[in-house]
Each structure stands twice: as C-alpha cells, then as structure tokens.
Structure 1
Amino acid sequence: MLKTLKAIFLNTSLTFLFILFLINMAGAADFCVSNAADPQSALTTAASNGEDDVIKIVQGTYIGNFIYSSCEDYDLTIEGGYSEGCTSRVVDPANTVLDGGASGTVLVLSTDKEANFSIDGVTLKNGMTDKCGGGLYAYASGTITLTNNTITGNSAGCGGGLRADAETITLTNNTIRANSAVSGGGLCLPAYYVLGTVTLTNNTITGNSAENGGGAYISLYYDSAIAKIYNNIIWNNTAINEGNDLYIDNDRNNNYLASYVNLFNNDFDQSIEGIYIEIPFTIDPTNLNNEDPLFVDPANNDYRLQAGSPCIDAGDPNAPELPAADFERDPRIEGAAPDIGADEYYTGPPVPIPDIKVNGSDGPITLGQSDILTVSVLLDNNDITENADWWLAADTPFGLYFYTFDGWTTDWVPAYQGHLFYLDSFEVLKNMPVSRLPAGTYTLYFGVDTVMDGNVTWDSGYYDTVVVNITE
C-alpha cells in the first residue's frame, strides 16, 4: 500500500512543497474581475476558450445581468472576496455583490454538456424575471455547487432566489432570504436525472414567499433520485397555497413510487401549512418544529445566531457535505455538534481553517473502479501567519500514512514546517483512475498545528477530513 500511495502522489512533477510555494499555478484559465465590464467579458471568454475557468471577483458591487452560455464541457468556478489584483481573499458574500438592477436574472450559467459550476462567496441581489431563477439560473448535466453566498431580494416565475438543474446540486452555508416567485420563493431545485442528487446542508432560508413552496421547492423525477436535507434553517417563509417553508414533490413522474428524501436536523414548520410532501413520510424527530432561531438582527440583515438559540449544537455531525467552516469562516462544529443554519455560533478568536475535498466534495463520497479521483486542499489562514506544522495524511484499509517530501511513511512526520498563509484551492491530485486503488474506506486529512515541533498537539491543531469509499 505504501508503494501504491507513493506512486499516486509522486508520479507527477508537483510535490507538496511545490504546491505551497507555487500556489498561483493552475490548470485552468484565471480571470481577475475588478470593474463593471469585466464580469461579462470574463464569462464570454470562458464560454469558448476550451479550458476550465476560474473567475476571481475583486470586492465591490457590479451592476448588470451576467450570462455564461457554453457548448463546452469545461468547468467554471466563480469566487468573490478578492483584493485588488486578486492577490489575497476574504470570503464574505457582503464584500462582493452582483446586482441585477431589477432588469433580469442576475447570473445565468448554462451549458448542454457535462460541466461543473461552482459559486463561492458572492451576493446575488435585485434580479427580476418572469422566467426561472431571479438571482441565479444554472443548468448543466454535471454538478452545481453553491457555498457561502447570499441570495436576496430577487423575484422570478420559479426559483425567486435561484433555480438550478444538474445531476448533482449541492448548497452549503448559503443565506437565501427575501426572494419571491410563483413556485419556490427562495429556491427551486428539480432533479430530472436517474441518479439526481440534491443536497442542502447548513443553509439559512428565511423570509421568502411564493404561491407554492415559499422557502424551498424540491422536485424529484426518477424513483432513484434523492434529496439530502440536513442542518438547515428553513423558517418564516410564506406560501399562498401549500408549503410555507418546504414543498417536496417526491413523485414528479406520478408513478406513486416515492423518491428518497433524507430530512434530518433542520428547523422548519412541520404543520400542514408549513410543509407539503407529495407522498407523505414521517418527519424525523431530529428536526425542530418551527422554533425561532433567534437571529441577531434580521431587520439589518444579520442572520447569525444569538446565544441561547435552539439551533446551536442541534445539527448532525455526519451530514453530507458538512463544511469545515461557516459562512464567515468560523470553525464548523464549535460545540458538541454543528449548529443548524449557515452560521456557527462562535465567540473565540480567528483560527486557521483547512479544507480538503475529493472530486469537489466534502464527502463522504463513494467511487467505483471506473471513476477518477481528484484531491484538492485549501487553507484559509484568517490572517494568522505564525509558524506551524502542515500535515497531509491518509488512513487506508492498510494503515495510516503521512506525506513527506520523500514520499509516504508510517512515521508521524509533518509534510512541511513554516509560516501559515492563504493557500488557495489546489489540486494535489487530478483525475487519477480509481482502478489504481484497492477497494475499501480511505480517510484523507489535511491540517495545521500552530505548535511547530514536529508532533501533533491536538489543542493547537486544526484539520479537515474527507471520507472516500472505494468499491470493487
């Protein structure tokens, strides 16, 4: 197994040291957006340049209706919060605003190919359309991932805040508020794929309105489709007809066989007015029933949790795609369990936030022998620059291994020792055939320890994990 791991991660001209010091190197086209004309220019170029693309948006407000329409199967990532020149980043959706000016959808991302879209750390506001998706309309046959965004003050025919359609749709740490539509005031998420998966984890969806599905409208077509709804605040939304907070159509193909819905550790109105389910199922008792989350100051758009909120420590620590931090980069799971909603109640000082993903997922993720494996790491140092041990480890079916410059070892040795800095998302491993790995469960770790002594000091260590199940 040691030889296998070494071959996987060292059969490349990049080493982990190279990653740390050449963090701006990338296998995609990067755009640094800093004025009103740049967003659309970058989207237009990215749509046909034959590359994966990353659009980095400098902090500010950009008014317009921005469209990406492509016939290519390349990925697109949009990230807010950058400083001038895109040399550093602060993840806070309030600092990067795309404003639709009430004259159309704020942002359209559309392709007929198997591409992946990702949006992180932006605000989408003031979109208005009689079509679908006021703040965001996203369509692809790959994955759509939204993290750490605010979507507010938009209106549409369906999906006032957003409408997303893809084989895999994942929303984490988003605040979706004060949007309106005919169906799906906050969001409308249809799953029209055989293996369609909709995942909502640790979002705050509040103050939205519609005729049906004031907060969220989720539609599952195939019997094999699944919705995973964990740790969300879906509260104080309104619907004229059905589903103030939630409208779940788990039988869109009308064959009376329900699609799968995992609904755990959320806060929503469980009454007949609060939730509509096409084929009813028993609501799990881990869900809170219309409890006031005790937001700090919703009148002034502060949806953090107050002390004493019933949502504190009420989440599921095993929720799919559980993020390493909340929307404002406070550590996720501060107490006995994660909080419900986009905010994690935290009163301590800033800490470094490591993040490791497999195939863009926080996991757990299951891969077969015909799949490929991409591992990426990120460190938000939260402006902390002290020296630290950097760790990269893999717990495999054959033992625990640590990465060093000389390869993998069973000795507890850090990968690198040096000061902390912001490490942008970097692919340690890209598109490796899973067939090179024996079947079993693999847990990958990426972390830092601010006591730089070559040992793991748990009180000063910060780490993230991702679990990968490899099948035969």
Structure 2
Amino acid sequence: PFFGVWSDPDLGNYADDLVGVDVDSNLIYVYNGNDQDDVFPIPPAVGYKYISGLNSLDNDLYAAGAIYEGNISTEPDNETEAYNRMQGLLNDGTNITDPNTGQDTTFMMNGDPVSGTGWIDDNVVDKRILMSVSANLSAGETTPVVAPGDTVGFVIAVIIAQGTDRLNSITELREAASEAKTLWDNNFAGVTLVDRPVLTSDEDNGLFSGINFEGADPGETLELSKTYHNTGNQALNISMSANNVTASPSSATIATGGYQSFTFSYTADNFIYSAHNVPSEYGTIQSAVDAAAITQFSEDMNLTTDDPYTTHALITNYGYSGSGDTVYVSPGTYTENLVIDDKSICMISTNGDPASTIIDGNNDGTAIKIGSWRGMFTLNGFTIQNGNTQNFPYPGNIGAGLSLGRSNNDFGTVNITNNIFKDNHSGYGGAFFAWSANGTINRNLFIGNTATYRANAAYLRDYRSVIGLNFYNNTIWDTSESTSIIRVNQPEHRVINNIIWRVSDQNLEDIDDISSGATIEYNIVKNGYDGTGNISDDPQFYEPDSGDFRLSTSSPAIDAGDPDLDNDGEDYSTDEDDQDPDGSRMDMGANILQPYLITDARELGVGAHVTVEGVVTSHNMATSTTSYSLQDETAGIHFYLQDTLLNFQLGDELRISGTLYDYNSLLEIIPDDASNISVLSQNNPLPDYQLLSMQQYLVDGESYESELIRFSDVVYVSGDWPEEGSSSGIVISDDEGATSLTMWLDSDTEIDGQSQPMDPFYVSGIGDQYNDSYTLRPQDYHDFSMTTDAGFENSYDYGNGWQRLPTFWEWWPEIG
C-alpha cells in the first residue's frame, strides 16, 4: 500500500507558484515564479521534508510531484486516480516522463532551479503538491504490506525559509530541511528554548480568523465574543482598538496558561437602499453597480502584545443587512464584464423575460464576477452568455457566466432565479462557480456551457460554507462530450428536482460528487445517479435544439419532483412551498418562462399552468372585472381576472401567465393577479378575420374558439335587437335556416341601442362557447356590413390615429 500527503501551500499570491523535488533529500517544495510577490517583497520558499517512516513504512519517498490544471495533472477525481498519483503515475495511469531525459520517473520537477539544471518547473500557476511513501517489504514478500492491526506513521517537517531572492530562498530551505533532519535524528539536542508569551485563539486550530459580524439593520448594534489564550510561559499583555469596532476590555493581562474573553461590538449607520435604472439613468449596468451603496467593510484591528517573536493581524469585517441597492435593467443586450465587490446587489430585469435582457461577456472574461463579499446577490430575469475564461490562468479560469467570490471569511447569500446561462466556457464551472455561497440557484436554464477540466454547467464548491447551496429545479442541456456537468464539493449542498441531460451518448459522469454526503435526489440524469427519486428517462422537451425546453405532456419529469422539497415534514398535498403554480406536485426542471403558442397551451388542458403571448382582439367583456380575448398566429384564448379591472386596447400585445380553466365550456386563462399580465407592445395589427360558413364553424368550433371570424349572407332567425343598456342573443343563419347559431350582443359593447342592420349582412366577431354551444360575439357596430359580396374591403378608422379595422360597411342606417 501507499500513503500520501496532499497540500495547497498558496505561497503569497497563489497564482504564481512553482514546484521542485529534491529526490535524494526527500524534499518537495514550492517557490515563487516571480522575483517579487504581491504578499512578500522577497518571496520565501516552503518545503515538506519527509524525515522518516515509523514501523513498517519506508524511510524514503516513493513519489512526489505537483497537481495543477490539466486533464491528467489536476486533482484526482476518484479513488483510482488518487491511487495512480500515489504510485507516481498521472491520473489516467500513464507514466510520468522526465522531458529532459525521456526516462520514466515517479518524481516530477526533479531538477535544480538554483543551478538551472534538470527538469525545472516553468508553468507559473496555482499548484498543489503531493508525496507518497510505500510500506516496507516484509521478509519473504514481493509486495509491500501492512499487517492487520499494525500502526504506521511518518514524520514530516514543514519548513519556511527566506533568502535574498526567490531562488536563494530555496538554498536556505534546503539548509533548514537538512538541519531539521539532523535535529530529529539527535532528539533535538542543542535546541535552546526561550521564555515568551504565546497568544492563541479558541478557533481555527489556534489561529485568528478575524472578527466577522453578520449584516446589521439600520442603527443596530451587534456583538460577538472571542476567547484568547496564553500558552506560553510568561504573562501576556494585550491591547486592541479600531475605528468602527469596539473591544471590551480594550486591554488585558493574560497569565501563563490563562485566557481572556473579549466582546467586540459594531453599530451600523442608518442606511437606506435605493434603485438605479439602466439605461434610463445609467448607460451601463456596471455604472449602475458602481453607483450602488457599499454594504461590506473591513478594518484592521490594532492588536499589540509584548511577544517579541510574533506580530498578530486581526481583521474586522462588518456591514449592512438586506438585499442592497436594486439595479433595474430594461430589455436589451449589454456587452459587459461586470465586477461587483463589497456590495449587496439586487439585479432585476424589468420585464422578467431572460430572453430579452442579455449580459454578453464578449468571450473576454467572466460575464459577472462577484469578488470580495459577505452580503447578498440577487439575479433574476437575464440571459448570461459568452463569458469565456478558458485562456485565463487559474483561478481566473472559473465560472465564465457567474463567479462567486473566494475568501476565507466571505459567505454570501445568493438568489439566482429565472435566468438563462448560455454558451459560457471556462476551465472549471463553465456557467457557474461558487467558492463560498449559501442560498438558492433555482429555475435557471443552462445551455451549451463547457469546462475544460470540471463541471460544464455548475461547480458548487464549499470553501468553509456551513449552510450550502440549494440547486433546485434547473434544466441543463449539455452539449459537451467531455467532463462532468455538475461538481459538488460540500455535503450541505442540495441538488434536487433538476433535469441534467447530456446530448451525446457518451457514458460520462454527469454529476461529480466528492462531498461525501450532499443531497442529490429527484433529478433526471442522463447517465444515471444513485439517490432517492433520481431517474434517467428522456425528459421529452418540446424542441430543445431550437431552445424550447418546455415539457411535453408525457414527460416523466411532470409531477416527479421532491414531494417535500423544503424538508419540513409537510408534502405538496398541503404545503404550497412544495407545489407548482397549478397546485400540483412539482415537476423536475426549470419550467422557466417560455411562452407557449396558444394552440399548444390549449392542448395541455384544464389545470395546466401556462404562459402565452398574443394580441388583444376584443374589448373588455365585463364591467368591473377583466375579460378579454387574445390571439396569436396559431389560435385564440380568453383570459379573465376576477375582482380587478384592467383596461387594454385592441392591438395590445400581452404576456399572460395563469392556469387553464373551463368556464361553461369556454377555455380561459386565469392569472393569479395583475402582476401575471404584462404589456409587451402596443398598436399591433389585428389577426386576419377568417371567413367561414356556420357549418364549418359548428363542425370544428374548438379550433376557432376565441378567434376572429366572419360569416356572410347572414339572416335573422329569431330574437330581438337589444335596446340601449341591455344584452340579447339573436339566432342567425347563413343557409336559409338549415344551420344556425346564436349571435350574442353584449351591453358592454356599443352595439346595443343602435339601429338594427337589415339582412342579409356580413358579421364579424369573436368565436365563443357557452355550455357546449358555439356562438359569435361581435365587438363593434361596424362588425356588421350590408354588402352581400362587395368584392373588396373598405377600412373603418377606429379614431386612434393608427388602427384601421377591416369591414364591409357601404351603408349607414342613419342615412339609409
């Protein structure tokens, strides 16, 4: 067997590390690729010296090398790849070849960068290191073994040395490593101990993780306590002060072996959040973000002690609660690479349609990058496309669509809902990468995103998050033929109710879970995934290649979501939080706002929740409520909103979301409230009237319901013309009484009280249905024409300056 040690030294600026291995000295080390570092003016070197094995372990390293981005050199993805690396192989089991000698080796970068000889690392990127040791061969054995019940161990010295420059730091490190070996072998003979106080913390293995407050409400005072220990052999005098954070007590003496608790307090300003509008107030989204209020602040605590050997750094982080300023963005394409630091931001598209409000990264970096943050970020109603970080050095090559910041103490809360992530490309997490975040990623659509190494769609990392992300009801259409679709690093993450579909038939790992405990349930996963409710059946999208990811009526995703998504013990039968908008059990997938063609919506039937777009073709058919007909190029439908009066005009283009309902045989859309109806445009031409015979209409009335239709050669059969203020149903026929139907003249129109046209006549109106009887509802007096067959259409000026409605008027009753 092999035993391995892995480490990520992050020497100063973590993105400019190099690795070296001294094989004969059992030393692997990291040094800086630049003469100066962002953190250290003279870069030190850090090394891991294998001192010796205990019991049955070998006293020499078996393998050592670097882990860095690359298909076969990055972090091992599973037990097999990890074992390969401990054997001195690459992830895929192929040999490591020294590029200078052409010989296979188990030690990478085994040259000497000080003298410039041998295999020297020249790839300046973030690097991790590993080394392994084998068990000793037992007498008579050909394979190293560890006997049952045996205990093994090894001794490693971690050494930091700083010389006159980055390469001289390696020389100093080698000397220190040799001294460490000598000290161990001689039981530390000659080591002189000093008398001193030693300040340690209760948290983070005795280190100091900072004073991190939660967000405060306006004027609110927050407090938190920390306990510090003196583990030295002399008394410790300590004092602390800052501008905006108060320590109590501000100074103390901690006896040898003693401790002291301190209370830190912060009082927030009386802040007020505001709104910023793009492009009416700000020409770019970035300029609106820059104008938004800063909500997160950091300040160094002045901490002094009388320990002459150590300088302590204590950072205070504090800020404001809430969602931050709101940035409202009108429809359009915004070619930007947004950067948001130290701010909570609520970014909302004004019409809620992600297809019409686009942030385009122009294939030049991350489209939206959240840097240092501890607040909230909301994104709703956008398409995030063409982010590209593939050619950026790690860690810049992550999350090309949306990247959520990295810091030891940064735990932001997100609400990423109703967005489309499309054609984003990175090294890790093609569309989305979260270093440290809590919150929800919900009902988003991921299309055609790719990653070179891991997670084409979303990389859910942990970085000390203790709550996790809820990755719920997203649809992923993956067109890549390599790597995973989602990677999960945190056991608190919940991946539920998603459709994760790979277009190719390659049997790849769609969900890469290295968290050992994340909740991954009730998903459709193309290549399968073990877990409650997970299936691999085709989701049966309408036209995914054309961007239409609505579910067909026979989709296995319908009513197949987690029956108790919020995990509160109450399922969808009584808990609205576990229901789709129509009150049924949740479907899998995003169900993102994608309007149905009206003809497709009608086929879904009563109870379905739909969104449609169309042109208003009627006046309001009610006095105190909202009742109109809507028509697109495929069909018509009626919509009704009770207890609310909304006024729309003929030719208004609307988007309506609601539930299909049968009202006395008439199919209607019932929106939940007025917010589910939006005006997209105005002054649109009405659809053409369809000239039918009554027999054609009655045979297939469902196909013409709520559409504009017209009959010719019409005569009265029975019924009276309505007086002003009254309604009337008049039976009419177009074949001398053999076929007839009811024409309903409503008092809500201006037809009642007008002179009755003489028959025969033409009549136009809305195809209607009541109690299984198909009827006609004219909307205006000019829907009647006295011409039997004029052979041409005149126009009726509706008086609003733009709309001329078709009619056959050639005779006015007032003038005979």
TM-score range, shorter chain: 0.5 to 0.7
Any idea what SS the aligned residue of 1:191 has? Answer: coil
Q: Could you tell me how far apart the structure 2 residues matched to 1:75 and 1:227 are? A: 22
Any idea what SS the aligned residue of 1:111 has? Answer: coil
| Percent identity for Structure 1 against Structure 2 | 26
Q: CA deviation at 1:264?
A: 1.8
Letter in 2 for 1:288: I
Contact in 2 for aligned 1:185/1:210 (Cα 8 Å): no
Q: CA deviation at 1:288?
A: 1.1
Q: Could you tell me how far apart the structure 2 residues matched to 1:298 and 1:351 are? A: 20
**Could you tell me which residue of structure 2 aligns to residue 247 of structure 1?**
512
Correspondence 1:118 to 2:363: no
Letter in 2 for 1:76: I
**Could you tell me which residue of structure 2 aligns to residue 287 of structure 1?**
534
Q: CA deviation at 1:137?
A: 1.1
Question: How many residues matched?
Answer: 298
**Could you tell me which residue of structure 2 aligns to residue 372 of structure 1?**
none
- Given candidates 427, 432, 435, the residue that maps to 1:165 is 435
CA 197–208 in structure 1, closer or farther in 2 if over 3 Å, else same? farther
Q: CA deviation at 1:246?
A: 0.9
Q: Could you tell me how far apart the structure 2 residues matched to 1:111 and 1:385 are? A: 46
Q: TM-score, normalised by structure 2?
A: 0.34
- Given candidates 120, 132, 149, the residue that maps to 2:419 is 149
- Given candidates 539, 549, 555, the residue that maps to 1:309 is 555
Letter in 2 for 1:99: D
Q: CA RMSD in A?
A: 3.6
Q: Could you tell me how far apart the structure 1 residues matched to 2:503 and 2:470 are? A: 20
Q: CA deviation at 1:239?
A: 11
Contact in 2 for aligned 1:202/1:233 (Cα 8 Å): yes
- Given candidates 335, 342, 366, the residue that maps to 1:105 is 366
Matches within 5 A, 1:17-416: 27-34=272-279, 37-46=283-292, 48=294, 52-70=324-342, 74-80=343-349, 82=350, 90-112=351-373, 114-130=374-390, 131-139=397-405, 140-182=410-452, 183-209=454-480, 211-213=482-484, 215-220=485-490, 225-236=491-502, 243=509, 245-250=510-515, 258=516, 260-271=517-528, 282-284=530-532, 286-289=533-536, 291-320=537-566, 332-334=580-582, 336-343=584-591, 347=604, 386-387=642-643
CA 212–239 in structure 1, closer or farther in 2 if over 3 Å, else same? farther
1:315-344 Cα deviation digits (max 9, x unpaired)? 12321399x9xxxxxx82536411110118
CA 53–187 in structure 1, closer or farther in 2 if over 3 Å, else same? same
Report which of the two structures shows the higher radius of gyration computed on alpha carbons.
2
1:93-126 Cα deviation digits (max 9, x unpaired)? 11211111112211112224x2111111110001
> Structure 1 or 2: larger strand share?
1
Q: CA deviation at 1:152?
A: 0.5
Letter in 2 for 1:180: T
Q: Could you tell me how far apart the structure 2 residues matched to 1:217 and 1:47 are? A: 34
Contact in 2 for aligned 1:184/1:210 (Cα 8 Å): no
Q: CA deviation at 1:207?
A: 1.6
CA 321–121 in structure 1, closer or farther in 2 if over 3 Å, else same? farther
**Could you tell me which residue of structure 2 aligns to residue 463 of structure 1?**
none
Letter in 1 for 2:449: N
1:141-161 Cα deviation digits (max 9, x unpaired)? 121221000001010111111
Q: Could you tell me how far apart the structure 2 residues matched to 1:184 and 1:95 are? A: 27
Any idea what SS the aligned residue of 2:346 has? Answer: strand
Any idea what SS the aligned residue of 1:247 has? Answer: strand
Any idea what SS the aligned residue of 2:560 has? Answer: coil
Letter in 1 for 2:274: A
Q: Could you tell me how far apart the structure 2 residues matched to 1:31 and 1:349 are? A: 39
CA 161–384 in structure 1, closer or farther in 2 if over 3 Å, else same? farther
120-129 or 159-168, which deviates more? 159-168
CA 318–264 in structure 1, closer or farther in 2 if over 3 Å, else same? same
Contact in 2 for aligned 1:333/1:339 (Cα 8 Å): no
Contact in 1 for aligned 2:284/2:334 (Cα 8 Å): no
Contact in 2 for aligned 1:185/1:208 (Cα 8 Å): no
Q: Could you tell me how far apart the structure 2 residues matched to 1:47 and 1:349 are? A: 44
Structure 1: runs of 5 or more not aligned: 1-25, 83-89, 251-257, 276-281, 325-330, 354-382, 389-418, 424-472
CA 76–188 in structure 1, closer or farther in 2 if over 3 Å, else same? same
Q: Could you tell me how far apart the structure 2 residues matched to 1:116 and 1:165 are? A: 14
1:382-422 Cα deviation digits (max 9, x unpaired)? x976426xxxxxxxxxxxxxxxxxxxxxxxxxxxxxx9544
**Could you tell me which residue of structure 1 aligns to residue 122 of structure 2?**
none
1:64-111 Cα deviation digits (max 9, x unpaired)? 2121122xxx5211111x2xxxxxxx3221121111111221111222
48-57 or 93-102, which deviates more? 48-57
Q: Could you tell me how far apart the structure 2 residues matched to 1:138 and 1:190 are? A: 10
Larger RCO of the pair (alpha carbons < 8 Å, separation 6+): 1
Letter in 2 for 1:261: A
Q: Could you tell me how far apart the structure 2 residues matched to 1:164 and 1:240 are? A: 27
1:342-389 Cα deviation digits (max 9, x unpaired)? 118974699899xxxxxxxxxxxxxxxxxxxxxxxxxxxxx976426x
CA 351–293 in structure 1, closer or farther in 2 if over 3 Å, else same? closer
Q: Could you tell me how far apart the structure 2 residues matched to 1:45 and 1:239 are? A: 48
CA 240–292 in structure 1, closer or farther in 2 if over 3 Å, else same? closer
Contact in 2 for aligned 1:218/1:248 (Cα 8 Å): yes
Contact in 2 for aligned 1:231/1:339 (Cα 8 Å): yes
Q: Could you tell me how far apart the structure 2 residues matched to 1:193 and 1:167 are? A: 9
Q: Could you tell me how far apart the structure 2 residues matched to 1:116 and 1:49 are? A: 10
Letter in 2 for 1:217: R
CA 240–103 in structure 1, closer or farther in 2 if over 3 Å, else same? farther
Q: Could you tell me how far apart the structure 1 residues matched to 2:527 and 2:277 are? A: 45
Any idea what SS the aligned residue of 1:146 has? Answer: strand
Contact in 2 for aligned 1:211/1:239 (Cα 8 Å): no
Q: CA deviation at 1:47?
A: 5.9
Q: Could you tell me how far apart the structure 2 residues matched to 1:37 and 1:263 are? A: 42
Q: Could you tell me how far apart the structure 1 residues matched to 2:521 and 2:581 are? A: 17
Contact in 1 for aligned 2:399/2:426 (Cα 8 Å): yes
Contact in 2 for aligned 1:166/1:196 (Cα 8 Å): no
Any idea what SS the aligned residue of 2:590 has? Answer: coil
Contact in 2 for aligned 1:266/1:315 (Cα 8 Å): yes
Contact in 1 for aligned 2:345/2:376 (Cα 8 Å): yes
CA 232–420 in structure 1, closer or farther in 2 if over 3 Å, else same? closer
